[in-house]
């Protein structure tokens, strides 16, 4: 049986109100002609509500109630600052060249532009044991996660996550690794069951914690002992300011147990441009000795026609000396936003985590339900946050706050928050 464990990564599906019975659902939808095509029964196991649409619905209700108030959105982690011009000019030049016989490009390699793959290895992996042929350029890290069938919704749809337990908020075949302040935001591996896939994100979304070298050494050793594969998301690695590893491949032996996924979204403002990459080492093998990279390559070639040539031109510009400097200056801008907001929440007497190695704050509100805190902050300050329970059972009592935002907006949010009294 396929099982995987997850460590507070992307927002999990959540269920916010009693679920209608299947009979009621059928009564609602059977109103006309039906085909003879059966519905995938596993789709019924998906929760009826998803975190961010629910937040949007509550925001709309709030705006109707307070039409003259300015709502500040510190919820969805969407970048706000313009992409540096050196990068957009490269994309613009490439686009204009498409209208010429010399500059036109059609389909590229499904695995990505080799020049970009080489640049990714040189810039992000340096002397680490990563080869350009092991890099697969994609249209974003979340798409690659789905191609790996390790994202929760994907696993539910194909029937591998098992049934959903309403009383615990968990799927039966998923081992949830609780990561909180009490264990330094790293799972207690001594009490963690063996799983096929270990889903791990560092720096973490939502907690903002970057795993230490010692912690990642434990994780790699755990995977080797149990014969597991680590799916390691390093999308926020450029935000790391301390000695924490920026890649799982800094850990000896990781190339035998880990796939690494990363993205240009949060470091270059490519949330709408869509560009990322995945590294699948040649040394990563299935139980029968067959290389995982061959199957991943087959999936990419079957399900994907390659990332946009225009986006890849932008990616190359990001990794030029001038582009990298401009890109990291924007990262520093968001880090300063984090300092401003962290000080604001700390002034309320709350414990604030994250914000040092990631563009998120993980704010602890002891004894309070996260949705209640979300509602109270929205009602009193007109600021949108994210309830921690939306990221999994371990997120109760926390809220996540994004530090993406224009400086004037962040300063206004800081002023409002300092007058907040949580009850």
The confidence score (pLDDT) of residue 152 equals 65
E-assigned strands of 236-317? 258-263, 276-279
Sites in the chain below the pLDDT cut of 50: 1-2, 8-27, 48
CA distance 247 to 245: 5
Q: How far apart are CA 20 and CA 24, in angstroms?
A: 6
Do domains 51-77+324-417 and 85-322 share one topology? The answer is no
Per-residue pLDDT at 1: 46
How high is the pLDDT of residue 400?
97
Enumerate the domain spans of the chain: 51-77+324-417, 85-322
CATH number of 85-322: 3.40.640.10
Write out the CATH class of domain 51-77+324-417: alpha beta
Residue given tokens 């095509």 in the structure block: 37
Inter-residue long-range contacts of 320-324, CB under 8 Å, 24+ positions, other chains counted: 320/86, 322/86, 323/84, 323/86, 323/87, 323/90, 324/123
pLDDT of residue 88: 98
Contact between 364 and 181 (Cβ < 8 Å): yes
With a CB cutoff of 8 Å and minimum separation 6, the contacts of 69 are 63, 382
Length of the chain: 423
The reported pLDDT for the residue numbered 383 is: 98
Residues 6+ positions from 99 with CB-CB distance below 8 Å: none
Tokens 């000396």 appear where? Answer: 321
Are 171 and 156 contacting, i.e. CB atoms less than 8 angstroms apart? yes
Residue-wise pLDDT tens digits, 31-81: 688 888 888 888 877 764 578 888 999 999 999 999 999 999 999 889 999
* Residue that has been written with the tokens 């949580």 in this structure: 422
3-state secondary structure of 130: coil
Strand pairing report for 258-263 and 276-279: antiparallel
Mind listing the pLDDT tens digit for each residue in 204-262?
999 999 999 999 999 999 999 999 999 999 999 999 999 999 999 999 999 999 999 99
């Amino acid at each position: 049986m396929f099982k995987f464990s997850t460590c507070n990564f992307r927002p999990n599906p959540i269920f916010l109100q009693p679920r209608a019975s299947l009979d009621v659902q059928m009564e609602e939808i059977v109103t006309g002609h039906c085909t003879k095509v059966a519905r995938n029964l596993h789709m019924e196991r998906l929760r009826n509500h998803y975190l961010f649409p629910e937040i949007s619905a509550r925001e709309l209700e709030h705006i109707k109630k307070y039409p003259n108030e300015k709502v500040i959105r510190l919820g969805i982690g969407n970048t706000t600052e313009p992409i540096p011009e050196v990068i957009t000019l490269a994309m613009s030049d490439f686009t204009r060249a498409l209208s010429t016989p010399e500059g036109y490009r059609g389909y590229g390699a499904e695995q990505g532009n080799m020049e970009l793959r080489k640049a990714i290895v040189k810039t992000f992996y340096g002397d680490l044991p990563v080869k350009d042929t092991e890099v697969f350029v994609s249209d974003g890290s979340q798409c690659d996660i789905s191609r790996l069938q390790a994202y929760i919704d994907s696993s539910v749809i194909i029937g591998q996550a098992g049934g959903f337990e309403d009383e615990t908020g968990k799927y039966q075949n998923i081992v949830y690794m609780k990561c909180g302040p009490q264990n330094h935001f790293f799972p207690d591996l001594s009490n963690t069951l063996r799983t096929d896939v270990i889903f791990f994100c560092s720096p973490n979304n939502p907690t903002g914690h970057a795993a230490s070298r010692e912690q990642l050494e434990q994780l790699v050793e755990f995977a080797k002992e149990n014969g597991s594969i680590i799916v390691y998301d390093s999308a926020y690695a450029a935000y790391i300011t301390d000695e924490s590893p920026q890649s799982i491949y800094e850990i000896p032996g990781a190339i035998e147990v880990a796939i690494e996924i990363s993205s240009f979204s949060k470091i270059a403002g490519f949330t709408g441009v869509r560009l990322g990459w995945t590294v699948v080492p040649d040394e990563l093998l299935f139980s029968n000795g067959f290389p995982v990279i061959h199957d991943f390559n087959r999936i990419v070639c079957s399900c994907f026609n390659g990332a946009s040539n225009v986006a890849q031109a932008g990616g190359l510009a990001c990794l030029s000396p001038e582009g990298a400097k401009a890109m990291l200056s924007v990262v520093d801008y968001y880090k300063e936003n984090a300092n401003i907001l962290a000080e604001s929440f700390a002034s309320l007497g709350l414990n604030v985590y994250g914000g040092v190695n990631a563009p998120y704050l993980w704010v602890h509100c002891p004894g309070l339900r996260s949705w209640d805190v979300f509602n109270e902050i929205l009602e009193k300050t007109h600021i949108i946050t994210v309830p921690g329970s939306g990221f999994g059972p371990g997120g109760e009592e926390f809220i996540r706050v994004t530090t993406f935002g224009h400086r004037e907006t962040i300063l206004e949010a800081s002023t409002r928050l300092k007058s907040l009294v949580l009850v």
